[in-house]
Amino acid sequence: GRLTGDPDVLEYYKNDHAKKPIRIIDLNLCQQVDAGLTFNKKEFENSYIFDINTIDRIFYLVADSEEEMNKWVRCICDICGFNPTEEGSHFVT
């Protein structure tokens, strides 16, 4: 994914050369962001997974590092006006 000129949406593409996004995530519909998720699938071992929980669905994203995941989560939370809860990895309005 990458942030576009519109600060309220996140677009994701098939690859860096694609001109049209696969989907646009409207961050105005975001209800919650979770960081540091784990899945019981081998391909996601040691992955840095976070989610964007919207009114319609939950989007799961994978970052290359914990630092990158935290940067994405902070940016999304700033845009959505979220604050961290006591657990430190769960963000809501």
- The pLDDT tens digits of the residues spanning 51-72 come to 999 999 999 999 999 999 999 9
pLDDT of res. 5: 62
Asked whether the predicted pLDDT for residue 20 surpasses 90, the reply is yes
User: Residue 90 — pLDDT band, cuts 50, 70, 90?
Assistant: low
Q: State both tokens at 55.
A: 């009114």
Give every CB contact of residue 63 below 8 A, 6+ residues apart in sequence. Answer: 48, 49, 50, 69, 72
Note if the pTM is more than 0.75. Answer: yes
What domains does the chain contain, in order, with CATH numbers?
Answer: 2-92 (2.30.29.30)
